[in-house]
Structure 1
Amino acid sequence: MGVLFDYFAAADRPTALDWAIGPGGDWLAEGQSLDEAGADWIDMKGIDPHVVLGQLVAFAEGRPYDVHGTGPELLWPDAREWPPERPAAPGAESPWDSGLHLTELPDAWRDRLAAIEEEHVPMLALQWYDIEEVDFTDFPDCEATIRSFAGLASRARGAGTHLYCRCCV
């Protein structure tokens, strides 16, 4: 089973929810793709927002990674609206079984990623390439991935938008 992660910029949470999950968060409705929505987005396959991206942000900040620190916030499924332990009604499906999750990255992460300077990419890549949670195809792929994140974050910061991650299992 593969896990895909799409990172994108959106003006606000309702827009991100419509683009990533479906209109009004209705995951059973036909929605539009990120391309159709005109979103600025990147496909990062196995790079999860919590551990893998969190480590890149920590390296960029020059600090140790802290799994318990401030990180991405789960927006969907909404645990207050549909607690994960609540069973689905007969004949209904739980959004937790959809394989979709949407998280919002902290603006501080967006700003840190946007501030990565080209001259620092090789050193960050050396650190990030060695983490056990991801297997980059090669070192240049790791560098290119950092540049992709830095570019998306820079464009989002410049536009005053926020970064989100859609996970599809």
Structure 2
Amino acid sequence: MGVLHDYFRAPDAATAIRAMDVLGGPLAPDGNGRPGFDGVGTKGIDPDVVLGELVALIRDVPWTTDVIGDELVWPSPDEVPRNAEEARALPPDAPWATGPWLFELDEPARDTLAELDDDRHSEIAVAWGQTGELADFGPVDPEYLVGLVTELTGLARRARDNGERLYCWTCL
């Protein structure tokens, strides 16, 4: 089983939370066959580590867990189990136990992605494929990574240009 991470743009958290009501998440097609949100679907590209490694490469800084600031917006951060006992007492279908989860990424991460020059996509993608988590998966097709970098930077540009935020919908 893999972890899915769909990145999408929305004007605010309240709008992004609507994705939590859509079976299949924010990129699932609506009745007309179009996704509910403009986004990029990924598998295994979590915001803190793998996407954080990409952002660190673009910024030319060492990766740390706080390269990308993100904030949980669903389930409600006010309902976080305070300890292991509360976590064990959750019903089996509680969102904290099963997901999906929704995170809002910080504007500096969005802007870093948006500002990556198109002529650097290949260089950055190759370097990204050699970083920790991606390298652990084994050889990753460089063309796939170039396409993913291109999609993510395009999404970030559209979000920035429209005054929107980036969100990550995560599902087991």
| CA distance 1:33–1:79, change in 2 (3 Å) | closer
**Per-residue deviation, residues 19-44 of structure 1 (Å, max 9, x unmatched):** 1x128xxxxxx797544363111101
Q: Is this contact kept in 2: 1:18–1:31, CA < 8 A?
A: no
TM-superposed CA distance for 1:96, in Å, is 1.0
TM-superposed CA distance for 1:62, in Å, is 1.1
Structure 1 partner of 2:37:
39
Q: Is this contact kept in 2: 1:104–1:163, CA < 8 A?
A: yes
Q: Is this contact kept in 2: 1:9–1:40, CA < 8 A?
A: yes
Q: Distance in 2 between matches of 1:58 and 1:130?
A: 13
- Unaligned stretches of 5+ in structure 2? none
| CA distance 1:115–1:77, change in 2 (3 Å) | same
Percent identity between the two aligned chains: 38
Q: Distance in 1 between matches of 2:111 and 2:45?
A: 19
Structure 1 partner of 2:5:
5
Structure 2 partner of 1:155:
158
Secondary structure in structure 2 of the residue aligned to 1:144: helix
Structure 2 partner of 1:94:
94
Q: Distance in 1 between matches of 2:51 and 2:169?
A: 13
Q: Distance in 1 between matches of 2:78 and 2:52?
A: 25
Q: Which amino acid letter does the alignment assign opposite residue 154 of structure 2?
A: G
Q: Distance in 2 between matches of 1:106 and 1:133?
A: 22
TM-score of the pair, normalised by structure 1: 0.84
| CA distance 1:146–1:31, change in 2 (3 Å) | closer
Alignment counterpart, residue 167 of structure 2, candidates 155, 164, 169: 164
TM-score of the pair, normalised by structure 2: 0.83
Structure 2 partner of 1:54:
52
Q: Distance in 1 between matches of 2:113 and 2:142?
A: 19
Q: Which amino acid letter does the alignment assign opposite residue 22 of structure 1?
A: D
| CA distance 1:128–1:138, change in 2 (3 Å) | same
CA RMSD of aligned residues (A): 2.2
Secondary structure in structure 1 of the residue aligned to 2:43: coil
| CA distance 1:148–1:84, change in 2 (3 Å) | farther
